[in-house]
């Protein structure tokens, strides 16, 4: 008897391969992370020009810098909760637009009051960047790669700050070149002929952020399922290690504030971040002065610019390495808690020992090696810590990270500038380095007590 067509085997259909839309999301987030650090650091390259042209004193300029950090710190939680409530698409676009406009307006300041107002609003805008990046990462990537993705994000952040010391001065040099200046005498451009390069530099930085918004907002979606170019295989991959029902919430539940403020793990991480932020502040504040006082390093020399970038480059590499190792360990062993906390513990300990040893260095080379080792240790735990916060925050990752980052800014941007000058002038560099080391040790102790495997809320406690 001849077999019928119904008995014939069906043709083999190969399973669909996941699309790679999530990596385009990562590229957008990395560019944004780069711009955050680049835009906030570039002002350091033109501070003398601003003070001269706007007749601003050093004390007034210090007040402007402090106002940025105050606005940045205070707006962390509100800006993070906006993304959790309304989605990271609109929130990230709005805050990037806000800070880009005020970056550009910084180049149009006419005096102390206007520059102060612009930098405050710049801080308000930048405050929402990382909390909402955390929300976007939570929605678009499986938990098993959160540390690795965080490593990429923090690498470009660190390198954005480092490269600003080279790229922005190079941009200003191009804007001041005779060839460019002659081009400004063309019809329609003559109003710019007498404009100082630093003003145009801020305008260009602001324009870069606006371009990012124009590309990001029409393309991005908060929920990968709503992105038509995401196929079923990629959507399943993104959601593969999420519990049933653990998707983006429908509305922001006010009860989350009580749960947030009473969560032990988030408070411990916040204190750990406060300590490491205090210690890390040495790299971007007192490092130049220390090397000049003790080893007569001519940090005002243009060639020194490359040397002071080195700790940030090393730290960026450590972010990537720590994130990759953390995810690899969790994937192979399934021990999430150990895989997330061991890198911040060891990294903070290495940073503490390095800082304590810096005064013992016999040369500027040895001192810089120890500074780089401290930077490596600090950032070795950055991506695993980022993944831990996203894991604890869940659908409220933006709010959780805003809470942690707000307290961290108290350490790095308020306590350090107030306490360190007094310690240095009264007790010297050795005591100051011991305080930095103690701050890193505080982070080590806190991470020993942290359990990042539990969300700070239970599904049944909030309306999802």
Among 132, 212, 218, CA closest to 405: 132
Evaluate whether 391 touches 319 at the Cβ level (below 8 Å).
no
User: Quick count: other Cβ atoms within 10 Å of Cβ 21?
Assistant: 20
Q: Assess whether pLDDT exceeds 50 at residue 464.
A: no
Evaluate whether 297 touches 304 at the Cβ level (below 8 Å).
yes
Give me the percent of the chain exceeding a pLDDT of 70. 91
Domains and CATH numbers, the chain: 19-239 (1.20.1250.20), 251-464 (1.20.1250.20)
Give me the mean pLDDT over the 289-295 stretch.
83
Q: Assess whether pLDDT exceeds 70 at residue 77.
A: yes
How far is the first Cα of the chain from the last one, in angstroms, to the nearest whole number?
60
- In this structure, what token pair is assigned to residue 357? 């040893």
At residue 273, the pLDDT reads: 93
Whole-angstrom distance, CA of residue 147 vs CA of residue 300:
37
Q: Assess whether pLDDT exceeds 60 at residue 11.
A: no
Whole-angstrom distance, CA of residue 176 vs CA of residue 181:
7
- Position 184 confidence tier, pLDDT thresholds 50, 70, 90: confident
- Position 305 confidence tier, pLDDT thresholds 50, 70, 90: low
Q: Assess whether pLDDT exceeds 60 at residue 5.
A: no
Whole-angstrom distance, CA of residue 375 vs CA of residue 33:
19
Phi-psi region of 399 (alpha: psi -120 to 50; beta: other; left: phi over 0): alpha
Cα of 434 vs its chain's centroid, Å: 27
Give me the mean pLDDT over the 217-240 stretch.
93
Whole-angstrom distance, CA of residue 316 vs CA of residue 228:
34
Q: What separation in angstroms does the CA of 78 have from each of 133, 360, 380?
A: 14, 44, 29
Task: Give the angle 313-319-325 at the CA atoms, nearest 5°.
Answer: 135
At residue 251, the pLDDT reads: 53
- In this structure, what token pair is assigned to residue 241? 């290690």
Q: Assess whether pLDDT exceeds 50 at residue 249.
A: no
Q: Assess whether pLDDT exceeds 90 at residue 265.
A: yes
Mean pLDDT of all residues belonging to the chain: 87
Surface-to-core class of residue 159, CB atoms within 10 Å of its CB (0-12 exposed, 13-18 middle, 19+ buried): buried
Surface-to-core class of residue 303, CB atoms within 10 Å of its CB (0-12 exposed, 13-18 middle, 19+ buried): exposed
Residue appearing with tokens 């969790």: 330
Give me the mean pLDDT over the 422-438 stretch.
91
User: Quick count: other Cβ atoms within 10 Å of Cβ 363?
Assistant: 10
Give me the percent of the chain exceeding a pLDDT of 90. 58
- In this structure, what token pair is assigned to residue 233? 């295989």
Evaluate whether 216 touches 93 at the Cβ level (below 8 Å).
yes
Which DSSP letter does residue 422 get? H
Q: Assess whether pLDDT exceeds 90 at residue 329.
A: yes
Give me the mean pLDDT over the 205-217 stretch.
96
- Position 297 confidence tier, pLDDT thresholds 50, 70, 90: confident
Give 83-135 pLDDT, tens digit per residue.
Answer: 888 899 999 999 999 999 999 999 999 999 999 999 999 999 999 899 999 99
Q: Assess whether pLDDT exceeds 70 at residue 460.
A: no
**Which residues neighbour 335 within 8 Å (Cβ) at sequence distance 6 or greater?**
329
Whole-angstrom distance, CA of residue 361 vs CA of residue 372:
13
Evaluate whether 196 touches 181 at the Cβ level (below 8 Å).
no
- Position 13 confidence tier, pLDDT thresholds 50, 70, 90: very low
At residue 62, the pLDDT reads: 82
Give me the mean pLDDT over the 412-427 stretch.
84
- In this structure, what token pair is assigned to residue 459? 């599904």
Residue 196, SS3?
A: coil
Q: What is the pTM of this model?
A: 0.87
Evaluate whether 355 touches 375 at the Cβ level (below 8 Å).
no
Whole-angstrom distance, CA of residue 355 vs CA of residue 419:
17
Q: What are phi and psi of 352, to 5 degrees?
A: -65, -45
Surface-to-core class of residue 4, CB atoms within 10 Å of its CB (0-12 exposed, 13-18 middle, 19+ buried): exposed
- In this structure, what token pair is assigned to residue 239? 């959601």
- Position 245 confidence tier, pLDDT thresholds 50, 70, 90: very low
- Position 462 confidence tier, pLDDT thresholds 50, 70, 90: low
Give 147-165 pLDDT, tens digit per residue.
Answer: 999 999 999 999 988 888 8
- Position 230 confidence tier, pLDDT thresholds 50, 70, 90: very high
């Amino acid at each position: 008897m001849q077999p019928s067509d119904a008995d014939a085997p069906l043709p083999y259909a190969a399973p669909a391969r996941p699309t790679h839309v999530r990596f385009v999301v990562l590229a957008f987030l990395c560019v944004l992370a780069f711009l955050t650090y680049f835009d906030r650091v570039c002002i350091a390259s033109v501070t003398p020009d601003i003070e001269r042209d706007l007749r601003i004193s050093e004390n007034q300029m210090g007040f402007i810098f402090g106002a940025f950090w105050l606005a940045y710190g205070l707006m962390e939680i509100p800006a993070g909760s906006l993304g959790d409530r309304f989605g990271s698409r609109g929130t990230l676009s709005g805050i990037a637009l806000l800070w880009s406009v005020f970056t550009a307006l910084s180049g149009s300041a006419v005096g102390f009051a206007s520059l102060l107002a612009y930098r405050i609003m710049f801080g308000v805008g930048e405050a929402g960047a990382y909390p909402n990046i955390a929300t976007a990462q939570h929605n678009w990537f499986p938990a098993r790669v959160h540390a690795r993705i965080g490593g990429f994000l923090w690498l470009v952040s660190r390198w954005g700050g480092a490269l600003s010391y080279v790229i922005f001065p190079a941009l200003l040099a191009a804007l001041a070149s005779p060839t460019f200046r002659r081009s400004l005498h063309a019809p329609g451009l003559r109003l710019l002929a007498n404009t100082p390069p630093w003003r145009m530099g801020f305008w260009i930085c602001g324009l870069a952020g606006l371009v990012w918004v124009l590309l990001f907002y029409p393309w991005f979606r908060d929920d990968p399922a709503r992105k038509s170019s995401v196929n079923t295989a990629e959507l399943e991959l993104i959601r593969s290690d999420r519990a049933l029902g653990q998707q983006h919430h429908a509305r922001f539940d006010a009860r989350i504030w009580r749960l947030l403020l009473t969560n032990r793990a988030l408070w411990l991480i916040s204190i750990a971040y406060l300590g490491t932020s205090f210690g890390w502040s040495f790299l971007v504040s007192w490092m130049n002065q220390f090397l000049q006082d003790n080893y007569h390093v001519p940090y005002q020399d243009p060639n020194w610019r490359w040397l002071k970038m080195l700790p940030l480059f090393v730290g960026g590499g450590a972010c990537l390495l720590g994130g990759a190792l953390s995810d690899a360990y969790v994937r192979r062993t399934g021990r999430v808690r150990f895989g997330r906390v061991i890198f911040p513990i060891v990294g903070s300990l290495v940073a503490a020992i390095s800082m304590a040893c810096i005064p013992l260095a016999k040369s500027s080379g040895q001192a810089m090696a120890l500074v780089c080792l401290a930077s490596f240790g600090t950032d070795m735990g950055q991506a695993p810590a980022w993944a831990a916060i996203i894991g604890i925050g869940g659908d409220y990752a933006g709010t959780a990270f805003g809470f942690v980052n707000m307290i961290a800014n108290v350490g790095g941007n308020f306590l350090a500038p107030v306490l360190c000058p007094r310690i240095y002038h009264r007790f010297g560099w050795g005591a100051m380095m011991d305080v930095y080391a103690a701050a890193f040790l505080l982070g080590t102790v806190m991470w020993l007590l942290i359990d990042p495997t539990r969300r700070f809320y239970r599904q049944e406690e909030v309306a999802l």
